[in-house]
Amino acid sequence: MNGIVYLTGAGPGDYRLLTLRGREVLERADVVIYDYLADPRLLEFAPPTAEKIYVGKKAADHTLSQDKIIDLLIAKAKEGKIVVRLKGGDPFVFGRGGEESRALHDAGLPFEIIPGVTSAIGAPAYAGIPVTDRTAASSFAVVTGHEDPTKGQSSIHWDKLATAVDTLVFLMGVHNLPSITQQLVAHGRPATTPAALVRWGTKADQETLVATVGDIAEKAAACHFKAPAVFIVGDVVALRPSMQWFDTKPLFGLTIAVTRTHAQAPDLTHRLEELGARCLEVPTIRITPPTDGYQALDTAIADLEHYDWVIFTSTNGVDAFFRRLQHHGRDSRALGRAKLAAIGSATAKALTAYGLQADVVPGAYCAEDLAAALEPHLSGKERILIPRAKEARSVLPDTLRRWGAVVDVCQAYCTVEASENGAVLKDLLARQTIDVVTVTSSSAVRSFLSLSQAQASDLDDITFACIGPITARTCQEAGLKKIVTAQTYTIAGLAECITDWRIKQS
Ligand code: SAH
């Protein structure tokens, strides 16, 4: 039986501008065929088992010719596959969606079109330029700036186009900017008309150049403005100062490496992206089952009713503990009369997922604060269980024991170096300008240095943003120079500290 091809608009750049329908088909794709403009993060919506085929398509670098792409679509659909053909922007706006759907039709294969947010509208919007506006433009046109070079004559009616439409948006026009602007002026568009180029619109590295039709080609050449960009002509460009919203975000233009575990990174990444940063997730640590085995934790779980307190020092600890409890066929009720303490609000929130409220959560989030918050609740006769990572510091159990408590520390999980990311990290440091690295634990700092094989002196240009003083001390001891530390030891506090640092820089 034949499969189906979904010609899907990937949106203009930011992967979150994919449509719900686009996501739905990606989630059940057998094959994803994508090109240069589609954000690779979209591939994460597809099942891990889906085949992902890059077919290129930068102006001059066609990894696969259009004919070959069409052959591939047909071949995969004939194999009975669900094929998602992911295209930047909208598939029918200079996306060759027409050719592909026609070929599928001729081959008698089923297909559907899923529109996307085109860069012709999305990129100007993210630059604070509306393509229409009641005061400035009641029409707009989207025009190719890259005519087929084999065509003898222009298929663009410059004489009609230049003045007929209020806003003109050219795609693929960076290279031909001098001839486009000449044609416009030659056909009656005043050289003083506001004009703008928006490169990598909607992405964290969006760049905007504002000038006039008369001088933008020269200005673009002077600053080596490169594709991909949309070129916008019209009075709407003058509205930008009052409508700018994206490239004025506090962390806009900043590249931040997020080193948390794969499961925990998105929380921080989303927050930083919301503030305008470009985030690269490179987990330097990974959570594994305890290397010493579960014996100690299993013994404690079998004896849970005899504990007065169970103390959780991380969300990983909470998850590891309850996973093990479930493994034994038990649930939260096994905690019986034990009171619960959580090191911070995130850990307390993790407990609520199991229907539990922490009895004690300190105001500041480190082991010393947790011990201090517990002190008024302890008489010195308590039995206390701390299920946590093998590598954790001993200050909490030591303090509690000094006060007379019987403390069982059990390995619930292990934090190990994410060695699989060593190459990625080295490559990032070599190729990208990383402004900030976020570190949310001492082990993340150590793993970062060991995986990157960098000397502290190689990292002088990078600011290490630490979740709290313990992590900051580890950075200092490692010889790192630029360190900023969150005031509140939470993810929100960390984002705030990076924002404050950025504001001070400017
Ligand atoms: N189907 C796409 C357009 C494909 S043609 C769409 O609807 O957006 C490729 C051109 O689109 C590029 O040369 C550039 O002009 C424009 N483009 C695509 N993504 C862009 C982006 N994020 N920022 C600016 N221009 C972009």
Domain range summary for the chain, segments of one domain joined by +: 4-116, 121-243, 255-284+418-505, 290-412
Domain 4-116 is classified in which CATH homologous superfamily? Tetrapyrrole methylase, N-terminal domain (3.40.1010.10)
Q: State which ligand 1 atom lies nearest to the alpha carbon of 227.
A: 13
Active site residues: 35, 57, 172
Q: Does residue 59 register a pLDDT over 60?
A: no
CA of residue 17 to ligand 1 center, whole Å: 14
pLDDT tens-digit series, residues 481-503:
999 999 988 899 999 999 999 99
CA of residue 278 to ligand 1 center, whole Å: 20
Ligand 1 lined by 202 (C-beta under 6 Å): yes
Q: State which ligand 1 atom lies nearest to the alpha carbon of 231.
A: 15
pLDDT at 152: 63
Strand order from edge to edge, sheet including 309-312: 285-288, 406-417, 383-389, 309-312, 339-342
* DSSP states of 203-214: STT-EEEEEETT
Which residue in this structure is represented by tokens 């486009």?
180
To test the pocket of ligand 1, the residue of 61, 119, 176 to mutate (highest count of ligand atoms within 8 Å of its CB) is: 119
Q: Which CATH class is domain 255-284+418-505?
A: alpha beta
Q: How does 180-202 read in b/e, with b if 16+ C-beta sit within 10 Å? A: bbebbbeeebeeebbbbbbbbbb
Ligand 1 lined by 90 (C-beta under 6 Å): yes
**Spatial distance between the Cα atoms of 201 and 309, rounded to a whole number of angstroms:** 53
Q: Which secondary structure element, helix H or strand E, spans residue 388, and what is its range?
A: strand 383-389
Q: Does residue 148 register a pLDDT over 70?
A: no
pLDDT at 150: 45
* DSSP states of 261-330: -TTTHHHHHHHHHHTT-EEEE---EEEES-TT-SHHHHHHHHTGGG-SEEEE-SHHHHHHHHHHHHHTT-
Q: State which ligand 1 atom lies nearest to the alpha carbon of 202.
A: 22
> Is 255-284+418-505's fold the same as 290-412's?
yes
Strand order from edge to edge, sheet including 207-212: 140-144, 167-171, 229-233, 194-199, 207-212
CA of residue 38 to ligand 1 center, whole Å: 10
Q: Does residue 60 register a pLDDT over 60?
A: no
DSSP 3-state of 332: helix
Percentage of the chain with pLDDT > 90?
A: 78
State whether CATH 3.40.50.300 applies to domain 121-243.
Answer: no
State whether CATH 3.40.50.10090 applies to domain 290-412.
Answer: yes
pLDDT at 439: 95
Q: State which ligand 1 atom lies nearest to the alpha carbon of 13.
A: 22
CA of residue 109 to ligand 1 center, whole Å: 28
Least Cα distance to 296 among 179, 119, 414 occurs for 414
**Spatial distance between the Cα atoms of 35 and 59, rounded to a whole number of angstroms:** 12
Percentage of the chain with pLDDT > 70?
A: 97
Ligand 1 lined by 97 (C-beta under 6 Å): no
Residue 137: C-alpha distances to residues 183, 196, 239, 433 (Å): 21, 15, 11, 39
**Spatial distance between the Cα atoms of 47 and 68, rounded to a whole number of angstroms:** 25
